[in-house]
Amino acid sequence: MTVAIDRATGKRRGDRTPRPGLGRRLKDGYQKHWYAYAMIAPVAVVIGVLVLYPLGYGLYLTLTDANSLNTGRTIGVNEIEATYKFVGLDNYADILWGPTAYDRFWSHFIWTIVWTAVCVGLHFFIGLGLALLLNQKLRGRTLYRLILVLPWAVPTFVTVFGWRFMLADAGIVNSALDWLHLPTPAWLEDTFWQRFSAIMVNTWCGVPFMMVSLLGGLQSIDNSLYEAAEMDGASAWQRFRYVTLPGLRSVSSTVVLLGIIWTFNQFAVIFLLFGNTAPEAQILVTWAYQLGFGQQPRDFAQSAAYGILLLAILIVFTSFYRRWLNRNEQQLAI
């Protein structure tokens, strides 16, 4: 690669020309790019005010012992002053290695990792399989696609209700299993089966997105590549391995990352499926919500500290993921 001369190309890492002074650079940058900055200003404001400010506030809360009893609030006409105090990193220490830290954090942490890995794995492989099937010439494939997108079309809170009817003790699933003389697990009560149901429902909800995205990716692969491969005598598996998979790479690395982020933070499925009844099946997000809003007194500080830990995990993960992609000469489509 030659050194990029045009500043506007953006990729200037390793560019060693001496830099002018700070004031000069600011002025130049302003003149050259002011319209770009004007255009991103609205989003910068929204992110600053609605995201970064609450984030900073949340970060501050994690360093205090704030809960619903000692924060400032208004009851009728009485203003009650906030009385919580600064406690430093105590919350984090307590969460990570305090007494019963395993029961409160690490067990949920392990389950969250398992949940994310299993769900995204299932989403991806089922989605890829269905996308491959739908990408062939096949009678009725438009109809199949429309039906298969259905779980995505219906709002999650509606589908989860549907599943709760089906998984209830004497619901249709257990009736069917009973009829087949198979064991009828307590889907919504027993810890193992709660986790199983949660994964099942989330897989059901998440496959369409993967399927449709990968289908889009498949359709964008140039057909002549397949023709060329076939001319060279490549078998179906070899065509899949050496044409399809590389062709899908940029789509799949993006949707897998999005899938991981969304699944890791998946709130609705678990919250609506179990409410407060399943302490063992809560992933970190729902657990943090329960600390902050599902109990009395509400533990704001710990809840926010969980949030910061979750965010940190995701950011670290994404950085490594990006570095790994770059090492394999791939770009994330962002």
Partner 1 sequence: MSTTTAPANAPAEQTGTAPAARPRKVRGRGERSRAASLASHGILTVASLIALFPVAWLVYLSLGPDKDDYLHPGGIWSKMTLDNYAFVLQHTNFFDWLKSSLIVSLGTTVIGVMVAATTGYAVSRMRFPGYRKLMWVLLVTQMFPIAVLIVPMYQILSELQLVDSYLGLVLVYCSTAVPYCAWLLKGYFDTIPFEIDEAGRVDGLSPFGTFFRLILPLARPGLAVAGFYSFITAFGEVAFASTFMLSDTKYTFAVGLQSFVSEHDAQRHLMAATAVLVAIPVSAFFYLVQKNLVTGLTAGGTKG
**Binding positions for partner 1, 93-152, rule CB under 8 A:** 129-130, 133-134, 136-141, 144, 146-152
Among 258, 279, 280, 325, binds partner 1 (CB under 8 A): 258
Distance of closest approach, residue 327 Cβ to partner 1, in angstroms: 17
Closest CB to partner 1 among residues 194, 266: 266
Return the H-helix or E-strand segment holding 125: helix 107-134
Closest CB to partner 1 among residues 58, 279: 58
| 3-class secondary-structure state, position 80 | strand
Distance of closest approach, residue 265 Cβ to partner 1, in angstroms: 5
Q: Is the separation of the CB atoms in 211 and 148 below 8 Å?
A: yes
Among 1, 75, 158, 180, binds partner 1 (CB under 8 A): 158
| CA of residue 14 relative to chain centroid, distance | 33
| 3-class secondary-structure state, position 267 | coil
**Binding positions for partner 1, 205-244, rule CB under 8 A:** 208-209, 212-213, 215-217, 220, 226-227, 230
Question: How many residues can be counted in the chain?
Answer: 334
Query: Residue 75 — φ and ψ, nearest 5°?
Result: -115, 115
Site string for partner 1, 13-42 (x = CB under 8 A): ----------------x--xx-xxxxxx-x
Q: Is the separation of the CB atoms in 204 and 268 below 8 Å?
A: no
Among 113, 168, 225, 234, binds partner 1 (CB under 8 A): 168
DSSP per position, 24-64: HHHHHHHHHHHHHHHHHHHHHHHIIIIIIHHHHHHHHHHTB
**Binding positions for partner 1, 304-323, rule CB under 8 A:** 304, 306-308, 310-311, 314-315, 318
**Binding positions for partner 1, 43-102, rule CB under 8 A:** 43, 46-47, 50-51, 53-55, 57-58, 61, 71, 73-74
∠ Cα 86 90 91 (to 5°): 95
Strand pairing report for 73-75 and 78-80: antiparallel
Count of chain residues binding partner 1 (CB under 8 A): 108
Closest CB to partner 1 among residues 110, 176: 176
Query: Which distant-in-sequence residues (6+ apart) come within 8 Å of 271 by Cβ?
Result: 286, 289
| 263 part of the interface to partner 1, by CB under 8 A | no
- Residue corresponding to tokens 């067990």: 107
**Binding positions for partner 1, 268-307, rule CB under 8 A:** 268, 271-272, 284-285, 288-289, 292-293, 300, 303-304, 306-307
Closest CB to partner 1 among residues 118, 239: 239
